[in-house]
Structure 1
Amino acid sequence: FVSKLTDVLEAGVGNLVDADLAKESARLQALQVQQQLGAQALSIANSAPQIILQLFRGG
């Protein structure tokens, strides 16, 4: 009984660790995507004034 209980507990702990790793991996990917989107937004915001100036200059 104790041996079986130990096996079940070890498997349960292993599953929890795997679930935590998967959760953190997904969280990291989400943060990386947010970072990329933020960088793109800044790039667009920085280029927008130049585009507007080009429109006023006539090309």
Structure 2
Amino acid sequence: MVETASRLRTREGAHIEAALRTAGGRVSGAGGAAELPGLKPMTLCSRIRRHGLDRGRNT
């Protein structure tokens, strides 16, 4: 199945949210959300901004 660009963005946002929840809102460092998918912290921060996501620290 080929997914549309919109569907891929939606899935990426959901994966980022899950990683942030797992890491308690922490992006970098040991146990940070960037470590889970193997991204650099700045790359993850850019994607968080692109998707308009909250880091989840207060949830």
Give the TM-score of the pair, scaled to structure 1: 0.36
Q: Which fold has the larger relative contact order, with Cα–Cα distance below 8 Å and residues 6 or more apart in sequence?
A: 2
Larger Rg: 1
